[in-house]
Structure formats: C-alpha cells, structure tokens
Amino acid sequence: MTSLGNNTDGLEVGMVVAWTLSVNPSDNYLECNGQAVDSTKYPKLYALMHNTPDYRGVFLRGLGSVTSNHYGTVTHTSAKLGELQGDAIRNIYGNVTSSVEEEDGFANGVFQLIKQHFNGADYRYGSWGFSFDASRVVPVAVENRPINKAVRYFIKAK
C-alpha cells in the first residue's frame, strides 16, 4: 500500500485523530468541523472529500454489524459507515397496581403512587394519582449521552 501523502508521522491522508489539547496540531491537519478543504493546499485530501467531516458534538462509534438471534430478532449495532445515527435510550418501565375501594396501592420503577384523596367515614373510597419519572431509575439530563470526555477531532490533510 502506498501513502496518500506525507507519511512522516505514520498516518495516511484522511485518517482522523482525537486531539486533547486546546492548541491546534500542525497545519498538516484540519479540524473536523465541516470546513471546506482547500484544493490547492491539500490536493490529496480534496481528492477524497471537499469538506472535512463535522464531528463536533457527536460520538464516534466503531462500525458494528447486523446480528440476529434464534427468535429472528435483528439487531443493528451501528449505522452504516459515515452515516449519522440518531439518539436513543433503552426502554424504561415500571408497574402500577391499585385498588379503587381500598387505601392501598403499589408502584415501582419509573412510576410513583400519589394518594390524591380518600373520603367517607372509613376512608375506603377515593382515588390514586400516578407519576412517571425516568430519574427514579436512570441518570437524566437534557440530552442522551454515554459517559464521556471531550476531545477535538482532526483529519490528516497533507
């Protein structure tokens, strides 16, 4: 295999590296922020792509495979190479049971039982309310994310 560009650092033009510093590496690299590739300055990278990939704010994931189990269930472990895969979470569930005539009830998982009111001489008749709160069973935030540390991605340009 021949090198596509200056191979003094062992990397081929088009390879992506994670960069942990706030200062940029040498001008042999371009940040993966969707910027246009200058065809005169980086002709070999330009032959591969006209813009750098935009990896800001996304997690890079190794290419997975399609598998199926003995029930015929198919699992896709990643999107196709270079394709952006949307976010998702695992299923969150819980159970609720209650009695309309008795002052008892049960809820678990994401559900919480809330006694609304019971009336009558013996307080046997009333109603229950239920709340759904994912934070009862999983960490929550304003986004879905795995545990992480931020890096900057650069692509070998020359």
In a domain, 143, yes or no: no
Whether residue 100 is contained in a domain is answered as: yes
- Looking at residue 148, its amino acid is N
Range(s) of the domain holding residue 103: 96-136
In a domain, 52, yes or no: no
**How many domains are contained in the chain?**
1
Give me the pLDDT at residue 32, please: 97
The answer to the question of residue 107 being in a domain is yes
CA 99/CA 94 separation, integer angstroms: 17
CA distance 31 to 25: 9
pTM over 0.85: no
* pLDDT tens digits along 67-126: 666 776 666 677 777 888 887 777 787 777 766 555 567 777 888 877 666 665 555 566
Residue 47 located in a structural domain: no
User: Using the 8-state DSSP alphabet, how is residue 135 labeled?
Assistant: G
Residue 117 lies in a domain: yes
